[in-house]
């Protein structure tokens, strides 16, 4: 072993250690920010290690430097600009876009090596080694392509650029996807068999498979899909590691792949969905409308913003239940103004955060943190549920399925078993909602029929603005 090899070995080892510590630290609130920087440092370190290794052994040609610099500057610049500019509400689609590009990168590496085999130093043909090479190239292309097109579709759907086409809800989609999958397998076998041109077939059909699998999945399940695709991009990186013989790539890719799977599992649990039903079940509403479509609302009480303000003024303890609708209306800042007024009047305000509130688990916390809501006021479901009986007013903003008592009471409901917030235990519940449309699940919400529930119809932002006005008239929060 010569010096460059030893140096690279030490740096790689250190980078793996720091990356592992980074992922570990990211799972605790206190250490998360430092952990993220630690991981970023480890990544830079790994680049230094690789470049110094080549400088010490084969050297790096001027021409290579030029292309390295061009690629790095353009990629980093766009990444940094997007990361700085993007609004917090579009976080899920941003993560999807970044993720897709990671997949694209693995795909391109494998494609490059496949078209222009890089000299490995040894010229003697080794069947076993070339087989492994072809398998890892194929896996890298297959997973990379699925990650790329899947992430782009996910992003487009979250942005509202793409809707779910009707045919994708029928059984036809399974047939189509099976065709794509089988075609990928044929292309893969053909490639191993020595037919180099079938690599293009592999690229095309695995890209189509990524689209075909993601397109039918409905909005609520999208975060799970992004998390899964994130795991895939790790797998694609690990496969690329086999292609270029890099242990660091394999370790880091495998870590992300495995961690992503765990995270996906955690998310599924929070939504009471199995991964299989997310991937193959289509959108939940399509299957469940038949089973519980019979439910008509019989006892809806609607009230004005003024009444809502009066009740709030008299309250001692208020719990806010923010949901997807709040994120869509981008009303978190307006909400914060309302709660500030209430707090100034000595009213205790707490935010109840369901594990899947918002558009991604944890997304609501980010949005509320952006609006300057103190971290201590954000309560997780298990912590806040016992508090509801002692609460005067609950304000439900754009949340629906996560406050549906059916999940606890009605074993025939598709929601049954999903952890929900027990808002109905509170003295008064106000639900701010555009209309009587159902939530993601398409299931009737029994909460709306309860005598202590009043509906305030309107756009979340507008209602909150009106609420500020009413509270002002009542002299709340003005000292």
Partner 1 sequence: MSFISLLWVLLLGSLLGLELIGKVPPTLHTPLMSGANAISGITMLAALTLIVKAEGNVPLLIIGSVSLGFALFNVVGGFFVTDRMLAMFSRKPSNKK
Q: Does 113 bind partner 1 (CB under 8 A)?
A: yes
Q: Does 5 bind partner 1 (CB under 8 A)?
A: no
How many residues sit close enough to partner 1 to count as binding (CB under 8 A)? 118
Q: Which of 60, 182, 196, 390 binds partner 1 (CB under 8 A)?
A: 60
CB of 344 to partner 1, least distance (A): 14
Q: Which residue has the tokens 């790994």?
A: 46
Retrieve residue 131's tokens: 């087989």
CB of 317 to partner 1, least distance (A): 19
Interacting span for partner 1 (CB under 8 A) from 21-29, 194-202, 405-413, 456-464: 21-29
Shorter beta-carbon distance to partner 1: residue 17 or 436: 17
- φ, ψ for residue 358 (rounded to 5)? 85, -150
Q: Which of 11, 89, 99, 187 binds partner 1 (CB under 8 A)?
A: 99
Q: How far apart are CA 466 and CA 458, in angstroms?
A: 10
Q: Which of 150, 210, 212, 253 binds partner 1 (CB under 8 A)?
A: 253
- Based on the residue annotation, tell me whether 401 is a catalytic residue of this protein: yes
Q: Does 226 bind partner 1 (CB under 8 A)?
A: yes
List 430's β-bridge partners, or say none: 395, 454
Q: Does 179 bind partner 1 (CB under 8 A)?
A: no
Q: Does 259 bind partner 1 (CB under 8 A)?
A: yes
Asked if 160 contacts 152 with a C-beta cutoff of 8 angstroms, the reply is: no
Retrieve residue 421's tokens: 């917030």
Q: Which of 11, 35, 278, 321 binds partner 1 (CB under 8 A)?
A: 35
Count of other CB atoms within 10 angstroms of residue 174: 13
Q: Which of 118, 294, 298, 346 binds partner 1 (CB under 8 A)?
A: 118
Interacting span for partner 1 (CB under 8 A) from 100-108, 209-217, 272-280, 401-409: 100-108
Q: How far apart are CA 155 and CA 153, in angstroms?
A: 5
Shorter beta-carbon distance to partner 1: residue 358 or 442: 358
Interacting span for partner 1 (CB under 8 A) from 253-261, 327-335, 411-419, 440-448: 253-261
CB of 175 to partner 1, least distance (A): 32
Shorter beta-carbon distance to partner 1: residue 111 or 329: 111
Interacting span for partner 1 (CB under 8 A) from 49-57, 271-279, 396-404, 435-443: 49-57
Count of other CB atoms within 10 angstroms of residue 24: 13
Q: Does 479 bind partner 1 (CB under 8 A)?
A: no
Count of other CB atoms within 10 angstroms of residue 315: 22
Q: How far apart are CA 393 and CA 396, in angstroms?
A: 10
Q: Does 92 bind partner 1 (CB under 8 A)?
A: yes
Q: Does 278 bind partner 1 (CB under 8 A)?
A: no
Q: Which of 82, 172, 314, 436 binds partner 1 (CB under 8 A)?
A: 82
| Nearest residue to 350 (alpha-carbon basis) of 328, 323, 374, 382 | 374
Asked if 149 contacts 210 with a C-beta cutoff of 8 angstroms, the reply is: yes
Shorter beta-carbon distance to partner 1: residue 187 or 267: 267
Please return the burial class of 373, using the count of CB atoms within 10 Å of its CB with bins 0-12, 13-18 and 19+: buried
Q: Does 126 bind partner 1 (CB under 8 A)?
A: no
Q: How far apart are CA 228 and CA 265, in angstroms?
A: 9
Interacting span for partner 1 (CB under 8 A) from 260-268, 391-399, 420-428, 466-474: 260-268
* Site residues (CB under 8 A) for partner 1, limited to 306-345: none
Please return the burial class of 131, using the count of CB atoms within 10 Å of its CB with bins 0-12, 13-18 and 19+: exposed
Shorter beta-carbon distance to partner 1: residue 243 or 396: 243
* Site residues (CB under 8 A) for partner 1, limited to 377-396: 378, 380
Q: Does 24 bind partner 1 (CB under 8 A)?
A: yes
CB of 395 to partner 1, least distance (A): 21
Interacting span for partner 1 (CB under 8 A) from 235-243, 271-279, 303-311, 323-331: 235-243
Shorter beta-carbon distance to partner 1: residue 130 or 170: 130
* Site residues (CB under 8 A) for partner 1, limited to 343-372: 353, 355-356, 360-363, 365-366, 369-370, 372
User: 12, 221, 401, 446: which one is catalytic?
Assistant: 401
Q: How far apart are CA 368 and CA 351, in angstroms?
A: 9
Interacting span for partner 1 (CB under 8 A) from 99-107, 187-195, 393-401, 465-473: 99-107
Q: Which of 8, 11, 89, 91 binds partner 1 (CB under 8 A)?
A: 91
Residues with active-site annotation: 401
């Amino acid at each position: 072993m010569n010096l460059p090899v030893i140096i690279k070995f030490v740096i790689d080892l250190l980078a793996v250690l720091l990356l592992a510590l980074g992922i570990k630290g990211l799972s605790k609130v206190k250490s998360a920010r430092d952990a993220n920087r630690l991981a970023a440092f480890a990544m830079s370190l790994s680049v230094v290690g690789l470049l110094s290794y080549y400088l010490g052994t084969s050297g790096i040609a001027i021409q290579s430097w030029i292309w390295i610099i061009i690629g790095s500057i353009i990629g980093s610049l766009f990444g940094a600009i997007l990361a700085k500019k993007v609004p917090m509400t579009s976080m899920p689609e941003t993560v999807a876009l970044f993720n897709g590009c990671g997949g694209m990168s693995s795909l391109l590496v494998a494609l490059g090596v496949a078209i222009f085999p890089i000299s490995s130093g040894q010229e003697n043909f080794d069947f076993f080694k070339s087989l492994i090479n072809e398998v890892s190239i194929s896996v890298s292309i297959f997973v990379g392509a699925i990650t790329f097109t899947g992430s782009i579709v996910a992003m487009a759907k979250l942005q509202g650029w793409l809707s779910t086409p009707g045919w994708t809800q029928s059984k036809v989609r399974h047939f189509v996807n099976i065709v794509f999958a089988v075609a990928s397998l044929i292309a893969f076998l053909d490639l191993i068999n020595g037919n180099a041109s079938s690599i293009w077939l592999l690229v095309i059909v695995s890209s189509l498979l990524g689209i075909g699998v993601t397109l039918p999945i409905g909005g609520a399940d999208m975060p799970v899909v992004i998390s899964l695709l994130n795991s895939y991009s790790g797998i694609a990186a690990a496969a690329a590691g086999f292609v270029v013989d890099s242990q660091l790539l394999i370790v880091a890719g495998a870590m992300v792949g495995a961690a992503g799977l765990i995270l996906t599992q955690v998310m599924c649990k929070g939504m009471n969905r199995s991964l299989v039903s997310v991937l193959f079940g289509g959108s939940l509403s399509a299957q469940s409308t038949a089973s519980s479509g019979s439910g008509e609302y019989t006892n809806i009480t609607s009230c004005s913003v003024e009444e809502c303000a009066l009740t709030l003024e008299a309250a001692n303890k208020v719990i806010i239940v923010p949901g997807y609708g709040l994120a869509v209306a981008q009303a978190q800042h307006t909400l914060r103004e309302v709660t500030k007024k209430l707090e100034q009047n000595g009213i205790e305000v707490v935010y109840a955060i369901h594990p899947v509130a918002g558009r991604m688990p944890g997304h609501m916390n980010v949005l509320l943190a952006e609006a300057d809501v103190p971290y201590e006021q954000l309560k997780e479901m298990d912590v806040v549920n016992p508090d509801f009986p002692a609460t005067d007013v609950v304000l439900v903003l754009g949340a629906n399925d996560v406050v549906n008592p059916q999940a606890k009471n009605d074993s025939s409901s598709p929601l049954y078993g999903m952890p929900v917030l027990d808002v109905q235990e509170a003295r008064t519940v106000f639900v701010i909602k555009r209309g009587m449309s159902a939530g993601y699940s398409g299931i009737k919400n029994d909460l709306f029929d309860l005598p202590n529930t009043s509906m305030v119809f309107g756009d979340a932002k507008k209602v909150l603005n009106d609420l500020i006005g009413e509270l002002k008239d009542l002299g709340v929060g003005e000292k």
